[in-house]
């Protein structure tokens, strides 16, 4: 067993060589154990490297998937449009029936025109909202990928150095 200094209180913390963090018995601080003191094996280092590379690929895949257009992007707006049109047309017809103007052609045309215009506005709003969500998801994923990139690259360099040290 090795010992490592606690960054909070300076007390000596016992390191078992297995865990990547230990708790200081004096102040309770979690102390990260340097990899050198953990004695990682080649297999562990290679597995960690593969996990880091897989994470990068997964983030790229999710970003591409977010930016891609699917069938639902072409079906949802027209279906939403039809739903809005149908709902407004039925509601308008029911209102005209309630006030006794169901047989009035000018009022019927007015209800149809309002329903059509509202449906077209609904399509524009549906498409706009879906695109805004898509952009938001893409930006979030890109920020996550960029924030992690520096840490992943640094960790990959450390792993490569550790693997080279094991070879020597």
Asked if 40 and 52 touch (Cβ cutoff 8 Å), the reply is: no
Mean pLDDT of the chain: 78
* Distance (Å, whole) CA 70 – CA 79: 15
Task: Enter the tokens of residue 68.
Answer: 């891609």
User: Quick one: pLDDT at residue 40?
Assistant: 61
More confident residue, 164 or 88: 164
* Percentage with pLDDT > 70 across the chain: 85
Query: What's the pLDDT band for 114 if we cut at 50, 70, 90?
Result: confident
List Cβ neighbours of 151 (8 Å cut-off, separation of 6 or more).
none
pLDDT at 1 > cutoff 60: no
List Cβ neighbours of 84 (8 Å cut-off, separation of 6 or more).
115, 118, 119, 122
List the chain domain ranges.
Answer: 1-39, 41-167
* Distance (Å, whole) CA 13 – CA 92: 76
SS (H, E, C) 115-150: HHHHHHHHHHHHHHHHHHHHHHHHHHHHHHHHHHHH
User: Quick one: pLDDT at residue 36?
Assistant: 55
For the chain, count helices (H), then strands (E).
4, 4
User: Quick one: pLDDT at residue 87?
Assistant: 77
Q: Among 62, 6, 11, which residue's Cα sits nearest to residue 32?
A: 6
Q: How far apart are the first and last CA of the chain?
A: 24
Neighbours of 81 (CB within 10 A): 20
Single pTM value for the model? 0.48
Asked if 22 and 29 touch (Cβ cutoff 8 Å), the reply is: no
User: Quick one: pLDDT at residue 127?
Assistant: 81
> Any idea how long the chain is?
168
50-94 pLDDT, tens digit per residue, is 988 888 888 888 888 877 777 677 677 777 777 777 777 777 777
User: Quick one: pLDDT at residue 146?
Assistant: 82
Task: Enter the tokens of residue 159.
Answer: 């792993």
Asked if 101 and 94 touch (Cβ cutoff 8 Å), the reply is: no
User: Quick one: pLDDT at residue 129?
Assistant: 85
29-42 pLDDT, tens digit per residue, is 877 766 554 556 77
* Percentage with pLDDT > 90 across the chain: 0
């Amino acid at each position: 067993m090795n010992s490592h200094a606690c960054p909070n209180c300076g007390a000596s913390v016992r390191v078992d060589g297995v865990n990547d963090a230990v708790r200081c018995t004096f102040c309770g601080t979690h102390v990260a154990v340097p990899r050198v003191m953990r004695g990682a094996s080649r297999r562990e280092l290679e597995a960690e490297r593969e996990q880091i590379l897989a994470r990068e690929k997964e983030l790229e895949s999710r970003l591409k998937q977010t930016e891609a257009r699917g069938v639902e992007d072409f079906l949802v707006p027209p279906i939403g449009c039809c739903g809005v049109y149908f709902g407004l047309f039925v509601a308008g017809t029911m209102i005209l029936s309630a006030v006794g103007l169901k047989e009035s052609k000018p009022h019927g045309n007015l209800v149809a025109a309002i329903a059509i215009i509202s449906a077209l506005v609904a399509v524009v709003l549906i498409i706009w909202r879906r695109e805004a969500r898509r952009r938001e998801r893409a930006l979030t994923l890109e920020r996550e990928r960029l924030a992690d990139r520096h840490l992943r690259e640094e960790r990959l360099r450390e792993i490569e150095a550790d693997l080279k040290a094991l070879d020597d």
